[in-house]
A = this chain, B = another copy of it.
Amino acid sequence: MAKEVLIAFIQSNIPVSGSALTNIIDQFAERLIKKNEFFLKEGTVSNDYFFLETGCMRAFTHDPDGNEVTTYFYAKNKYVFEVSSLFMRTVSTENIQALTDCAGYSITFETLNKLFHASPEFREFGRMMLVKAFAAFKQRTLELINKSAEERYENLMTTDRDVFQYAQLKHIASYLGITDTSLSRIRRESTKK
């Protein structure tokens, strides 16, 4: 079984090897998600944690007026999960959809919990996932406050070029907290340079 990338990912987060590691990765199942397919649909309870090896995905919800708001982009070699719904077992207000054909490894909530209780190493891994996702989110929030839309756009361009390539501009716009009109103008300005 070719799970090298998953193994590398886990080991980049926590020190673990040998049978402890084997135990962990055996619980992950290969999974393909076709372009436009939903990994999570609002109104349902999320039941999977997913390591995305190739492809990219987008999370979005709807604001009170019914407009789509992109809440996150997931690039390859990243973990994909909706914290509240997965861990609090609540009905999700978010969707997570594949922007391209995706491949990776998934594990169910139940198996995740079994592993948490059985393996201190994996427990540490689980906590790291939460903590890192949280830290990334804080970073993003801070940017919303103290960077201009243009700076946020340029940041995204450089750090997430691949995601950027597959997402529609209106999705990127709502992720940046602006309208597609404004994004279009920002792009015009920044290509001038």
Bits for A47-78, please: 1 = Cβ < 8 Å to B, else 0: 00000000000000101100101010000000
A161 at the interface (CB under 8 A from B): no
Q: Which residue of B lies closest to A130 (CB)?
A: B130
A71 engages B177 (CB within 8 Å): no
* Total copies of this chain within the assembly: 2
Q: Which residue of B lies closest to A129 (CB)?
A: B130
A187 at the interface (CB under 8 A from B): no
Distance in Å: Cβ of A137 to nearest Cβ of chain B: 6
A108 at the interface (CB under 8 A from B): no
A177 engages B145 (CB within 8 Å): yes
A117 at the interface (CB under 8 A from B): yes
- Chain A 109-142 residues near chain B, CB threshold 8 A: 116-117, 120, 123, 126-128, 130-135, 137-138, 140-142
Given A123-B123, A131-B130; A69-B137 close (CB under 8 Å):
no
A87 to B144, CA, bound (A): 24
A9 to B63, CA, bound (A): 31
A117 to B119, CA, bound (A): 10
A132 to B84, CA, bound (A): 7
13 cross-chain CB contacts under 8 A: A69-B142, A71-B142, A83-B138, A84-B135, A87-B131, A88-B131, A88-B132, A117-B120, A127-B127, A130-B130, A130-B131, A144-B145, A145-B177
4 smallest CB-CB distances across A and B, nearest first, come from: A63-B146, A145-B177, A84-B135, A87-B131
